[in-house]
Structures are given as C-alpha cells and as structure tokens.
Amino acid sequence: MLSTRDNDLLIQTGPGTPLGALMREYWVPVARSAQLVAGAAPTRIKILGEKFVGFRSPDGAVGFMNEACPHRGASMALARNEKCGLRCIYHGWKFAPDGELLEAPTHPESAPLNRMRTGVRPAIERQGIVWAWLGKGQPAEFRPLAFTDLPDDHVLAATAVINCNWLHPLETLWDVFHAQILHNQTNRRSVRAGAYFSANETRMAGDIPFNYPELTVERTEYGFTHVNSDAAKETHFHFIMPFIQHHTVTPGIRDDKALQISVPIDDDHTLLWMIFYNRYGPLQPNGFAMQGFGSLPDLNNFLSEFPVRTAENRWGQDREAMEKGESFSGFKGNTILETIFLEDVGCIESQGRLDRSKELLAPVDKALIEGRQTVLDAIEAYQSGKPPIGRDLDLSGVEAEFKVKTQAA
C-alpha cells in the first residue's frame, strides 16, 4: 500500500513533476524508425505529456521537435518537409533536423537566428528506434543496453499504445504471480523444457493449480533485480531505471531475448515497446521473436489486429470462449504471445487510474513493492541532487536469465 502522495509521484510524468524531471534525464525511445518516412508529413507524437512531431527529411535525417512552432505556435504537423528541414506554413520559419534555425522570414536578414530557441530536440537512431533527448542542457552519452550495439537484423522493435499509466505494464512484469493464474493456459505450453508445476502443486484457484515460488529481490546500481524460483525454473529479471524491464522468455542461451520499455505518453496512456534481440545472429523465422511478432501486419501497433479495447466491450474479452471452456481468461490471440499480451492489457487497462493506497498486497507482491520503491527512491535521490540512477552506466551486459531446473514430466 502506498500513500496518496507516493502514488501521485509514481503516476505523474508531465513537465514540472518530480518523476517527469527524472525521466527527462534519460534518452527516451519515441518512435519506430519506420514510422518516419523520408519527405513525408511530420508525425504527431506525445511523450511525457508534451506534444512533439517527428519527421525525416528527404535526405533521410531524423528530426524531433515541439509540435508548436516557436514563432507563434502553429502545429508543425502542418509543416512542409523540405530539403534539409521542416518549414512552418504560417510564416515560413525553417528548422534543420539538427536544431539550426535556417530561415525566419519575419525577421530582418541581419537578425541572429542562432540565438533563437527552436524547440528541436536531439534525436538519434539505433536498431530501428528513434531516441530523443527531452531534458534540459546537453544530452547525456547514449547508454549502451544489451541490444543497442547489435546489427539491425538482430533486433525487432514493436510498439503499441496502451490505455493506462506507464507503470502498469512494468507492474505486471514485477507481479510474477499473476502468470500462474491469468496466463495459466499459455504458460504451460510455452515452456518447452519443463513443466511449471511438477513437485509442489500445493493450491488450487478454481481448477488452476498454483504454488508460491520463492522470490528474492535486490537493488542494483541501475534499478533492481528479482528472481522467481519454483519447482521447475528460476527466472531472473532486471529493471533498469527509468522504464526498462528485461524479462525471460525462453531458457536457451542462444535464444532470442526480450525487454519491454514503458514510455509515458501522458499519465493515462503508454507507448509500450516490445524489443526482441539475439546476440548471436540475425533473428530467425523459427525463433521466439519472429514466431511471435514476425507476421504481424503493423509493428507500429502490434495489437492492431484486435478490436479497440473499451470498458463497454470488456477490453475485447470473449465471454463465449470463456463459457465454452476454450479460454480461462476469455482473451485469445493468434499466437501464445498475443494471447499473453491481450490478457495483460485487458487487466491493466481495466485497472483505470490506480489508487495504490487502496490495494491489499501480500508477500507474493514482493517484487512489485520493490519496483515501486526503487522508482520512489530514485526520485528522492535525484531531487536531493544525486545523478540519475544508472544513467551513466554501460548496461550492455544486463539481461534476464532463465534456468530450467527439471525436465518435463
């Protein structure tokens, strides 16, 4: 249970908020590279409660800037995407992707254009992802993560807009226990080398057997790690401040790995990144990433095949499938991975704006509690003048581990 003050601290990331200020100290993944087409109309993108446009000049350079033109606020989504920069259609100011104000027809030729703020943000591209620096001052060095130095064909990055606060997708990863109940049908099928419930099936939730795994948590210099150990497996997860979670998908050393990044769009919407990578070679058609996401029609919205989720349609739940016994949760995708996503998204969107002062948590929520406290402590440390946690570290060696203990019965 959290105080209302701490709950608000965790939720609010807009300009001027404590967590918003901390998040702006890190590079933020703001768009898939494929969304920004050379010479095409700028794309409106909202991040951390602020409105921006992303664009790609005809020569291929990526730019990211405030949506409001710095002159008199016309939307730069209306701008002309010209050679070398974006030109506002209202009075013709022109901005280069690197932030230079190239022309300002309202001003005399002698005006010092280089002293005017342009609202263009530093942006870089890696592995099909556009990262922007939304903080004040000089950007930090780009922090290496497990996939950020790999060739592009070793990485698949997909996004979806989820109608919940940024913390919900992370909390569902920290809340390891829910997998035994919500994902009970898919979990068992997806673990190739071992059964989840072999030696100690101790309890039943309706027809679903579950056990209480041993959970350990530990703070790290970049966030925290938690280990989930049950009869069949030991899984290690890493949370990297401020919004990255490495989680386990399959046990093989050379298998595809995965992480999620949960970027606030505003306090009630999240740009959820699903990133798969393989250190050892290009992603293969029979690997976890391509099996799960390779055939999806739109990686900019990996849930595009499914109906828009609302409270009125029970976030897409199929009650008939539930009643016929085809699905425990009533959520069904075309693949195991899709089903897991639909189950998670249905639940976390249904939570609405969470009031964590009213929860009834238990010992199985140990990692969830640690995760929240990690973020709260990071906010406090930053506000007391300490550097942003984990921001200046090389984290390329940090990734989740999955150890199988027993073979399938």
Residue placing its CB nearer to Fe ion in the complex, 172 or 180:
172
Selected range binding ligand FES among 85-93, 166-174, 334-342, 375-383, rule: CB under 6 A: 85-93
Contact (CB, 8 A) for 26 and 134: no
**Amino acid in the structure at residue 156:** L
- Partner touching 344 among Fe ion, ligand FES, none, CB below 5 to 8 Å by kind: Fe ion
Binders of ligand FES among 10-69, rule CB under 6 A? 69
Binders of Fe ion among 160-179, rule CB under 5 A? 172
- Partner touching 79 among Fe ion, ligand FES, none, CB below 5 to 8 Å by kind: none
Smallest separation (angstroms) from ligand FES to the CB of 51: 15
Q: Is 72 one of the binding residues for ligand FES (CB under 6 A)?
A: yes
Peptide bond into 307 cis (omega under 30): no
Instruction: Give the per-residue contact string, 332-361, with Fe ion (x = CB under 5 A; - = no).
Output: ------------x-----------------
Q: How many residues bind ligand FES (CB under 6 A)?
A: 10
Residue placing its CB nearer to ligand FES in the complex, 90 or 212:
90
Which residue in 52, 109, 106 sits closest to 79, CA to CA?
52
CA distance 60 to 393: 30
Selected range binding ligand FES among 72-80, 145-153, 273-281, 338-346, rule: CB under 6 A: 72-80
Strand arrangement of the beta sheet that strand 94-95 belongs to:
80-82, 85-87, 94-95, 101-103
Q: Which residue has the tokens 């049950």?
A: 230
Residue placing its CB nearer to ligand FES in the complex, 71 or 178:
71
Helix or strand (DSSP H, E) at 288: helix 288-293
Residue placing its CB nearer to ligand FES in the complex, 86 or 146:
86
Residue placing its CB nearer to ligand FES in the complex, 15 or 73:
73
Q: Terminal CA-to-CA distance of the chain, rounded, Å?
A: 39
**Amino acid in the structure at residue 5:** R
CA R_g for the chain: 23
Binders of ligand FES among 87-106, rule CB under 6 A? 88, 90-93
Which residue in 333, 304, 305, 303 sits closest to 318, CA to CA?
333
SS3 366: helix
Distance of CA 311 to the CA centre of its chain: 23
Residue placing its CB nearer to ligand FES in the complex, 92 or 251:
92
Residue placing its CB nearer to ligand FES in the complex, 71 or 121:
71
- Partner touching 212 among ligand FES, Fe ion, none, CB below 5 to 8 Å by kind: none
Question: DSSP letters along 135-189, please?
Answer: SSSSPPPPPP-TTTTS-GGGEEEEEEEESS-THHHHHHHH-TTHHHHTTHHHHHH
Smallest separation (angstroms) from ligand FES to the CB of 73: 6
Contact (CB, 8 A) for 29 and 261: yes
Smallest separation (angstroms) from Fe ion to the CB of 106: 53
Residue placing its CB nearer to ligand FES in the complex, 92 or 122:
92
Smallest separation (angstroms) from ligand FES to the CB of 87: 8
Q: How many residues bind Fe ion (CB under 5 A)?
A: 2
**Amino acid in the structure at residue 301:** N
CA distance 161 to 147: 22
Residues that bind ligand FES (CB under 6 A): 69, 71-74, 88, 90-93
Contacting residues toward Fe ion, per CB under 5 A: 172, 344
